[in-house]
Amino acid sequence: MHRIIEPVIRFLLSVIIIVSVLVGGQEKNTSPYSFSKNIDLTIAGISSGLLIGSVLVDYSPMSKENISTLNPENISSYDSKAINNWDLNSIKMSDILLYSSIAVPGLLLADERVRDDYRNFSLLWAESLFLTLGITNLTKVLVSRPRPYMYGDKAPEEYKLKKDNRKSFFSGHTSISAVSCFLMASMYDDYNPNSKLSPYLWAGACFTPALTAYYRYDAGKHFPSDLVAGYFVGSVVGVLIPRLHTKSSKINVGLTLQTSGKLRTHLSYRF
């Protein structure tokens, strides 16, 4: 996961800055989405704060001495079977699925309606990935959970000493795959209401991150609870971000600066 973080963040920052400048006053009437400073500055602020926090948190990988003290008996029965897994081919397959998933929303650009609305589309895509990365990265360093293969004897020592050996919870591959796939299905519905293709896209959106999660489990990279959490976070963000921006949305999110100098967020629902 750490190999894609920096380039993806640079890409997202570039997209958010460029699109945010261009989107003002250029929204098409046919677009299913609308944007506001309250919602979008709040999302950008939260995402940036999460990512900055993940860098500032004091994190260090487990040393050889620390690894030798790990006790499999401390793992719940629900997660315990994962410590016997280790497969390099599954690691490669999960990487392929991750990179493929990131590009999945881009398939919607084959639709002329999406291409005509590319500014709004690009901003939603960037916001969703940016927020998911922030939540994932900060959680990983705060929890600092050793990966399953650290408890077994199948993984080579040089692999156990990698810098991300304490970033098991939760699965970044699964969360990024889920947010990308669910975002694609959600946005397709918004651009193509009542489409007969929609159920198949949703089925694919559910299946792809689940398959990614399976390979991460089989690789010994994550416990089942890591995968469930990653799937949940990614799917929620992938559905929530488009819903917040639909023109008919009744949800309002805001970020305000109080006279005391403190920032305050608020969430409201219009009935």
Say if CB 19 and CB 125 are below 8 A apart: no
Q: What is the average pLDDT score of the chain?
A: 86
Mean pLDDT of 104-125: 91
Domains contained in the chain, number:
1
Which one, of 210, 213, 204, lies nearest residue 185 by Cα? 204
Range scoring the smallest mean pLDDT among 1-15, 145-159, 223-237: 1-15
Which one, of 58, 35, 209, lies nearest residue 124 by Cα? 35
Residue 152: pLDDT over 50 = yes
| pLDDT tens sequence across 165-189 | 999 999 999 999 999 999 999 999 9
Predicted pLDDT at 119: 87
Mean pLDDT of 230-252: 85
User: Cβ contacts of residue 45 below 8 Å, gap of 6+?
Assistant: 255, 263
Say if CB 206 and CB 178 are below 8 A apart: no
Task: Give dist(CA 258, CA 261) in Å, integer.
Answer: 5
Instruction: Band the pLDDT of 134: cuts 50, 70, 90.
Output: very high
Instruction: Band the pLDDT of 30: cuts 50, 70, 90.
Output: confident
CA 52 to chain centre: 16
Task: Give dist(CA 139, CA 247) in Å, integer.
Answer: 32
Which domain, by its residues, includes 262?
2-269
Instruction: Band the pLDDT of 242: cuts 50, 70, 90.
Output: very high
